[in-house]
Amino acid sequence: MTRVGFLGLGIMGKAMAENLIKAGFDVTVWNRNAEKTTELVVLGAKQGTSPKSVAAHCDITFAMVSDPAAALAICQGPEGVAAGIGEGRGYIDMSTVDDSTSQMIADAITNAGGRFLEAPVSGTKKPAEDGTLIILAAGDKTLYDEALPAFDVMGKMSPFLGEVGQGASMKLVVNMMMGGMLSIFSEGMSLGQKAGLDGEKILEVIAAGAIANPMFKGKGAMLLAEDYTVSFPLKHMQKDMRLAVALGDKLNLSLPTAATANEAFKQAKKAGFSDEDIAAVYKTVQ
């Protein structure tokens, strides 16, 4: 049985690790706040003492943390993953970071003798719980092949996208479009209701037409109920929008719509909605 490590047990990571445990994997978990490991240890996971110890013990170690700074922090330093990896073991970072950060992590891991795969995911809390994430993998193909059984537990689709950086770029493209869609959706819902239209009727019309999609259906219900229970924290979407716009700058590509949507999410953060669901961007438009 492949020994699997899992670092980072937030909204996404906890659900993903739990699915691996329930599928019978030998899982060792670690989280900066150790209290978050308790439920998973009860389910059968072992508790690691540091990213280094987990990487040294496990054949493949997965990580799912909040941003580039956190991803670098658990990889680097005397207690980081790179310090424990060695001997051809594998490290798979499933966090959403930019391509430059991903390459820095890849270099640290490979220089330490390990193998690296970036594998950010498309999907939020419910797909993580249901094991229906889309996993965007790039990097070491041998590690990808070995990780497929775990990917099949955590996701419904896991394409191999090539060299390190391609997975990160794909995730930023997807989330940039999602953020832009949610921003204009919020404006449309606000405009319609200000004009006297019934919110449910707006959603019915959208659902019947060419712009129907699962996000509008799910987030639309949240907007009307004023229920912003977190599935994807707004602060993380703003981070992804910022990274996407920065990638456009790096590639000398103008992204005016994404830049405007990024400003909407920045405004929502400033208004105090950082830790609410991404749907809370709607509150800045109302």
- Angle (CA) 243 244 247, round 5°: 85
The tokens describing 97, both together, are 């970071």
The tokens describing 113, both together, are 């003798």
Distances (CA, A) of 124 to 174, 197, 273: 13, 30, 18
| Total residues belonging to the chain | 286
Distance of CA 185 to the CA centre of its chain: 22
Distance between CA atoms of residues 219 and 105, nearest Å = 34
171 carries an active-site annotation? yes
Amino acid, single-letter form, for residue 82? A
Distance between CA atoms of residues 88 and 107, nearest Å = 14
Distance between CA atoms of residues 250 and 178, nearest Å = 21
Q: Is 146 exposed, middle or buried (0-12, 13-18, 19+ CB in 10 A)?
A: middle
CA-based nearest residue to 40, from 64, 57, 21: 21
> Of the listed 14, 171, 219, 269, which one is catalytic?
171
The tokens describing 118, both together, are 């970036």
Q: Are 83 and 114 in contact (CB under 8 A)?
A: no
Amino acid, single-letter form, for residue 179? G
Q: List, by residue number, the catalytic residues.
A: 171
